[in-house]
Structure formats: structure tokens, C-alpha cells
Amino acid sequence: MTEALRGLETWASTDGARAVTDADRHIGPALSNLRSCVLGNLEAAPRDYFSALSLLGREIALQSGSTSFALTEVDALAPIASGFDQTAARAALMEGYVNALLESGERQGNASWDPPACVVVLGDSFAAVAAGHPSADQEVLTAWADRVALCLVRARVRRVSIAGGPAALAVLCDALALVGIHFEAR
């Protein structure tokens, strides 16, 4: 067995003792490749090593690993690797973990504005649209407006009353004009 494989096995052997949730108890196999990447980058440039740790933290979050499990991941690495800054390593790992959670929350929040949730068909070919999408990202808003316009076209809506924030309104008005739906923005 190679030294790298022994290191990975030693690292993985601590999973059970550090597990707080059921997800923590089953997360190990999903982390194996990224743990290998971290070990492979121990001697690399700090940027590569910290990027590998950040990806590992991101994967722990995406696999529903607990914060406690993520925080102790660097502690589990310490016995098999020497000469690294544990505080900086923990910070890099947790940055990936927290960013993944924030991005997930943002995606969920944005998805709540997707059609048909933001559309109310009020009568024959008439609808109201709540254009309060929280994003300020033009690409996100454009994709959202395109989905709303498509929803309205499929529902055979020809006239729309729209209310919402200025950024979302502007993008939605452009999308509706493109598909020939008449609108009144409030």
C-alpha cells in the first residue's frame, strides 16, 4: 500500500468518531477524491492547497455534512501531514463550506420566484406577474424573465399587469415585448 493510500485511510478512519449527523456518518466515500487532492497539494503552491481545501469544504456542505464535521476535517488531516498552517487550512475549508451553503440558499430563494409561482392568470388571456426577484445579477434576471415569458406564452396570455422591483421589471418588460405580450408595469 502506498503512503498516500495509507494517509487517506487514516484520514477516513476518523469519520465515525467525528460524525454528528447521519449525513456525516455516510459522507466519507464522497470526500475520498478531494481528500486525495488535498494530500497531493500539500507541497504545492499555497493557492493550490487552499483551493483544494475550499473544494473539500464545499463538498462537505453539498453532501449535507455538519458544520462540526467540517470544522474537524483539518484536525483529522494533522496526524498524516506535517508542516501546514492548521488555522489557514481550516479557514480555507470553511470558506468553501460556507460559500456552498450561501449559494444554495440564494438558489432556493431565487427559485421561489420562478413561474408559475410569480404568475396569476386572472382571466381570458390576462395575467398578473409579481416581479420581485431579489437578484441584481443581470444574467440571473434575464434567465428568470425568459422563463416567465415562456410560461405566459404557454398559458396563451396576451396582456399582463406587472409589479415589482426596477431591475426585474426592466428585464421582464424586455422579455415580454420580445414575445409580443402587452404589459402594464406598476
Helix H, strand E, coil C: the string for 126-147 is EEEEEECCCCCCHHHHHHHHHH
On whether the CB atoms of residues 14 and 20 are closer than 8 A, the answer is: no
Q: Which of 124, 125, 126 is nearest to 162 (CA)?
A: 126
Asked if residue 49 has pLDDT above 60, the reply is yes
pLDDT at 1: 55
CA atoms within 13 A on the CB side of 176: 24
What percent of the chain is modeled with pLDDT above 70? 99
pLDDT at 91: 95
Q: Report residue 23's pLDDT band, with 50, 70 and 90 as the boundaries.
A: very high
What's the whole-number average pLDDT of the chain? Answer: 90
pLDDT at 76: 87
Question: What pLDDT digit, counting tens, does each position of 50-108 carry?
Answer: 999 999 999 999 999 999 999 999 888 888 887 788 899 999 999 999 999 999 988 88
Q: Is 154 helix (H, G, I), strand (E, B) or coil?
A: helix
The mean pLDDT value for 3-20 works out to 83
